[in-house]
Amino acid sequence: MDAKIILKGSRVAEVDAKCIADGIDSKWLMQNAGSSVAAEIIKDYRRFLNTKIIKGVTVSGGGNNGGDGFAAAADLAAAGMIIDVFYIRPPERFSGDSKFYFDRLPGSKVENIRFIDFSIPEDKETFINKVSSSDFVVDAIFGTGLHKEDVRGQAKDIINSINAIKNGRKNSAPLSVYSCDIPSGVDSDDGRILGCAIRADKTVTFGCIKKGIAEYPGKDFAGTVIVSDIGIPFEYFDKYEKIYQPDLFWVAQKIPLKKPWTYKHAVGKLLVIAGSPGFTGAAVMTCQAAMKAGAGIVTLICPWELNSIFEIKLTEVMTYPVEQTDDITLDMDAYEDIEKFAQNYDALAVGPGLSRNPSTICLVREILKNIKKPTVLDADGLRALYGPMEIGSETDLDLSHLIITPHAGELASILGTEKIPLEERLEHNKKVVEKYGLVSVLKGASTLITEPGGTTFINPTGSWALATAGTGDILTGITGSLLAQKMSLFDAAVSAVFIHGMASDIMAKKTGRTSQVATDLLEGIKKVFVKIEKIKY
């Protein structure tokens, strides 16, 4: 597994304990952590070091995260920066390693090393003045050990002060904030904001990504996340939750290699079952996205009365009209035709714009039960999994050929729960996977992809630009296309979500996020595959 590892922050103490028990020096790890933060700052300010004085403030708590801040301060001062070191707990209450690096601070090179007490007006004023006149702040107040209880007292005041100064300098020279491992105030296990949290520009996290900054709302506070190798071997991380983050290289490796002599029937044939009156656009976008993502042949199954509309809207896609209901939706009586037709296809994409007509939903149930082709199920098609005749009531049902792509509201309906809180999305996504034995893509901020073995990927691409009608249909098309190209369900789901989000990110540079619409992603998909081809070929 070449993807980046994600762990709950609470695992870090276990990892550290195992490392130390195996002879890895904890002080060496702390030095590496602090040095990695300093190196990132020095890299960002290198071009200014010979032309201006660079000033910074480090703020440390008493735990090991504070020690990372002390180690970083020493390196920054050695690089020629003017550094003020503040700490919010008396030295006698520091952790052992933190006290070690505190005692080694080079007094001659550091501007000030002082305890800060916000209950003393002079201390508070000094701190605020120093931060206000600095180029950057290093946040080393709380690390991965902070959970559940809200930040209180002067730590809360300090965090709010740093954020206020940062926000107040938007129209002048910016104040850059660097967090050690995780922004102080973010629960490293689930991303909850514990009353308040530092808004970092960069978070240098150690060894692996912490779950609290891979998911929202914590991710919103982390800025750019840099994963630093501080010397902990891979095997110490790879024994826990099996949560990962893909990158473009990982996706490019998974995309099938096309041979020079290949042809359209060999590179994937996708059958799309979608569309109804008022929702022809959903079917069209699904088909177009599938073509852009590399399928050789895409055919749309549609109600016969809508066929002429689809033939006008779709140029490269074939259509196959079948029996319809009085509402001009796909009828249950079309099943036998669809079953025969599907035998010549590699994969199915079912659901976008299908309608909630009972006959149509019964048709979807029959397709899922009997046509065992790799299938992605979305939108109205998901209603086959819940309601008065839910498909899950059949205990011997095999849905292992299926990817579902619900948003949180749809997943709540499938699971029969009222609402899925932002911080509990992963647990609920695992529940639906366990219930049906399928792959589930829980769409939303930091989309989650979970497979029956329990492995989950948290997607890093995309933004709120995707919160617009039709983007889910585009994702269904990409996913179906990759399934038709004979990727495994899980690899296809993870790769499709990454490509979908990256297409949006690329196009946002042109459209902005506010004005981006779903069809803009079609151009973005092409640009993503240009990048993939540069890696693969």
Give the pLDDT of residue 224.
96
At CA 219, angle to CA 467 and CA 5, rounded to 5? 110
pLDDT digits over 246-305, tens only? 999 999 999 999 999 999 999 999 999 999 999 999 999 999 999 999 999 999 999 999
Question: So what's the pLDDT on residue 488?
Answer: 98
Q: pLDDT over 70 for what percent of the chain?
A: 98
Is the model's pLDDT at 1 over the cut of 80? no
For the cut 90, the answer to whether the pLDDT of residue 111 exceeds it is no
Q: Are 80 and 42 in contact, with CB atoms under 8 Å apart?
A: no
> Is the model's pTM score more than 0.85?
yes
> How far apart (Å, rounded) are the C-alpha atoms in residues 81 and 240?
40
Mapping DSSP to helix (H, G, I), strand (E, B) and coil, where does residue 439 land?
A: strand
Alpha-helix residue ranges (DSSP H) falling in 209-349: 211-214, 218-222, 248-254, 280-292, 307-313, 335-342
Those residues with Cβ within 8 angstroms of residue 208's Cβ, 6 or more apart along the chain or in another chain: 4, 5, 6, 7, 227, 237
Q: Which of 236-245, 329-338, 470-479, 496-505 has the lowest mean pLDDT?
A: 236-245
Q: Please compute the mean of the pLDDT values over residues 337-359 and round it to a whole number.
A: 96
CATH topology of domain 10-239: Rossmann fold (3.40.50)
Q: What's the mean per-residue pLDDT of the chain?
A: 94
In this prediction, residues 437-451 reach a mean pLDDT of 96
Q: Has residue 243 got a pLDDT over 70?
A: yes
Give the pLDDT band (50/70/90) at residue 2: confident
Nearest of 17, 59, 20 to residue 37 by alpha carbon: 59
Query: Residues 236-252: what's their mean pLDDT?
Result: 92
pLDDT at 392: 57
pLDDT tens digits for range 32-75: 999 999 999 999 999 888 888 999 999 999 999 999 999 999 99
Average pLDDT on 478-491 reads: 98
Q: What angle do CA 99, 190, 489 make, to 5 degrees?
A: 130
The residue ranges of every structural domain in the chain are 10-239, 248-536
The model's pLDDT over 188-223, given as tens digits with 9 standing for 90+, comes to 999 999 999 999 999 999 999 999 999 999 999 999
Asked if residue 361 has pLDDT above 80, the reply is yes
Judged against a pLDDT cut of 90, whether residue 133 lies above it is answered with: yes
β-pairing, 448-450 with 439-442? antiparallel
CA 41/CA 230 separation, integer angstroms? 16
Q: What percent of the chain has pLDDT over 90?
A: 88
CATH number of 248-536: 3.40.1190.20
Q: Are 5 and 243 in contact (CB under 8 A)?
A: yes
Summarised one tens digit per residue, pLDDT across range 382-438 is: 999 986 556 655 556 899 999 999 999 999 999 999 899 988 999 999 999 999 999
